[in-house]
């Protein structure tokens, strides 16, 4: 049977330092590339935000927390380089770092730490990288990261149809405990009425979300769950108080909750990408966002758009109705 990417290497430990991006959706969309590299024999050593540890815990890769101060970042990268050299004497003689961010500062930090990094040619940073490749234009972000992995491996391949995010056993136990504690019924719907950032300077938050959750969505007779992040608790309480509010849920437990949900309805934001990545049906309610570039990835993603404005309650309810009948209630996680 033909394989999509190279067979695992048989040589000794081959460490690869990977600088992750700073947003949940980006890290999720980069997961297929990480999986591909691990399958090709690389010993992944990741650097990213603290939440990335929980998000990627089910895959077993170590994640170092990226410090806030530049000097501390250099110390961390230099320590990681020393550890990798101890495991692989040839570490410094090859491309040994994958830099997903395309900022000037991320390339500079790699260079100052003595790392031989591969990254995108952007913002004049090519001289700082051991190798740079053009950043594709008008390409979905998952494929942008995938092509960077192809450049490292020296082999092209089609990206996978599914991301394949896995929650850890510990996070599944934590999700099960929350479901039992809050008496959440099987077949529950998770909503994410929040959105960080903007698209072309426009808000990505569906203005009709609260009215939809309080009205048409309740007509489907399902438990409705919302997991506000830091700073979102007041909005969840005031606008979505009839839903079951689960506060302080880390991203690994969030992923485990989504694994067992019948459906997620979300703005264009990180948790929507997580839902798609674990294979849960997702209704992505989009306003200004372009799903061809940044949309959630997977066969169970249903984008609801009504450009140049927002979709109506009726359009979102129709999308829910198309998904729910094919997803009977499951046993809680």
Q: What is the pLDDT of residue 330?
A: 44
Per-chain mean pLDDT for the chain: 93
Residue 298 Rama label (left phi>0; alpha psi -120 to 50; beta): left
Q: What is the pLDDT of residue 159?
A: 97
Question: Cβ contacts of residue 221 below 8 Å, gap of 6+?
Answer: none
Q: What is the pLDDT of residue 11?
A: 56
Q: Can you tell me the distance from the alpha carbon of 275 to that of 283, in angstroms, rounded to the nearest whole number?
A: 10
CATH number for the domain whose boundaries are 15-153: 3.40.50.2000
The mean pLDDT of 198-209, rounded to a whole number, is 86
Q: Of residues 258 and 1, which shows the higher confidence score?
A: 258
Q: What is the pLDDT of residue 201?
A: 74
- Residue 173: CB atoms within 10 A of its CB come to 13
Q: Note the pTM of the prediction, 2 decimals.
A: 0.93
Q: Can you tell me the distance from the alpha carbon of 153 to that of 174, in angstroms, rounded to the nearest whole number?
A: 37
- Number of helices followed by number of strands (H, E) in the chain: 12, 14
Q: What is the pLDDT of residue 13?
A: 83
Question: Cβ contacts of residue 236 below 8 Å, gap of 6+?
Answer: 193, 226, 228, 243, 245
How far does Cα 27 stand from its chain's mean position? Answer: 4
Query: Among 1-15, 22-36, 86-100, 158-172, where is mean pLDDT lowest?
Result: 1-15
Provide the token pair at 146: 């995938």
Q: Of residues 211 and 9, which shows the higher confidence score?
A: 211
Q: What is the pLDDT of residue 325?
A: 67
E strand segments, the chain: 15-19, 43-48, 63-65, 97-99, 117-121, 131-134, 189-192, 198-199, 202-203, 224-226, 244-245, 263-266, 282-286, 301-305
User: For a pLDDT cut of 70, what percent of the chain falls above it?
Assistant: 94
Q: Of residues 1 and 171, which shows the higher confidence score?
A: 171
Q: What is the pLDDT of residue 199?
A: 78
H or E element at residue 257: helix 251-259
Taking the domains of the chain in order of start, what are their residue ranges? 15-153, 169-326
| pLDDT above 70: residue 7 | no
| pLDDT above 50: residue 331 | no
The mean pLDDT of 293-301, rounded to a whole number, is 96
| pLDDT above 50: residue 92 | yes
Question: Cβ contacts of residue 252 below 8 Å, gap of 6+?
Answer: 54, 55, 57, 58, 167, 168, 170, 171, 174
| pLDDT above 80: residue 5 | no
Q: Are strands 224-226 and 244-245 parallel, antiparallel or unpaired?
A: parallel
The mean pLDDT of 235-248, rounded to a whole number, is 94
| pLDDT above 70: residue 162 | yes
Q: What is the pLDDT of residue 197?
A: 78
> What's the CATH fold of domain 169-326?
Rossmann fold (3.40.50)
- Residue 201: CB atoms within 10 A of its CB come to 6
The mean pLDDT of 184-208, rounded to a whole number, is 90
Query: Among 13-27, 227-241, 246-260, where is mean pLDDT lowest?
Result: 227-241
CA distances for 214 relative to 186, 222, 313, angstroms? 20, 12, 11
Q: Can you tell me the distance from the alpha carbon of 271 to that of 266, in angstroms, rounded to the nearest whole number?
A: 8
Q: Can you tell me the distance from the alpha carbon of 311 to that of 309, in angstroms, rounded to the nearest whole number?
A: 7
| pLDDT above 60: residue 59 | yes
């Amino acid at each position: 049977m033909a394989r999509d990417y190279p067979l695992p290497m048989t040589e000794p430990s081959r460490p690869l330092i990977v600088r992750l991006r700073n947003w949940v959706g980006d890290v999720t969309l980069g997961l297929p590339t990480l999986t591909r590299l691990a399958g090709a024999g690389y010993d992944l050593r990741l650097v990213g935000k603290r939440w990335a540890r929980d998000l990627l815990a089910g895959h077993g890769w170590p994640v170092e927390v990226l410090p806030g101060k530049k000097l501390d970042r250099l110390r961390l990268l230099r320590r990681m380089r020393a550890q990798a050299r101890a495991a692989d004497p040839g570490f410094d003689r090859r491309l040994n770092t994958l830099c997903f961010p395309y900022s000037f500062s991320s390339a500079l930090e790699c260079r100052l730490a003595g790392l031989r990094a591969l990254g995108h040619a952007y913002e004049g940073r090519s001289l700082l990288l051991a190798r740079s490749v053009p950043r594709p234009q008008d390409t979905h972000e998952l494929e942008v990261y995938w092509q960077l992995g192809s450049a490292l491996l020296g082999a092209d391949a089609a990206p996978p149809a599914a991301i394949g995010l896995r929650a850890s056993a510990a996070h599944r136990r934590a999700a099960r405990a929350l479901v039992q504690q809050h008496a959440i019924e099987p077949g529950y719907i998770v909503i994410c009425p929040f959105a960080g950032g903007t698209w072309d300077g426009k808000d990505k938050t569906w203005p009709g979300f609260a009215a939809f959750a309080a009205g048409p969505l309740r007509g489907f007779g399902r438990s409705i769950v919302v997991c506000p992040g830091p700073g979102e608790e007041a909005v969840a309480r005031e606008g979505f108080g009839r839903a079951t509010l689960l506060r302080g849920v880390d991203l690994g437990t969030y992923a485990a909750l989504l694994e067992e949900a019948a459906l997620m309805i979300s703005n264009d934001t990180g948790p929507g990408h997580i839902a798609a990545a674990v294979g849960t049906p997702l209704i992505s309610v989009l306003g200004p966002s372009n799903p061809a570039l940044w949309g959630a990835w997977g066969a169970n993603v249903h984008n609801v758009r009504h450009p140049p404005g927002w979709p109506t309650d009726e359009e979102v309810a129709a999308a829910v109705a198309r998904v729910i009948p094919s997803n009977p209630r499951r046993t809680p996680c």
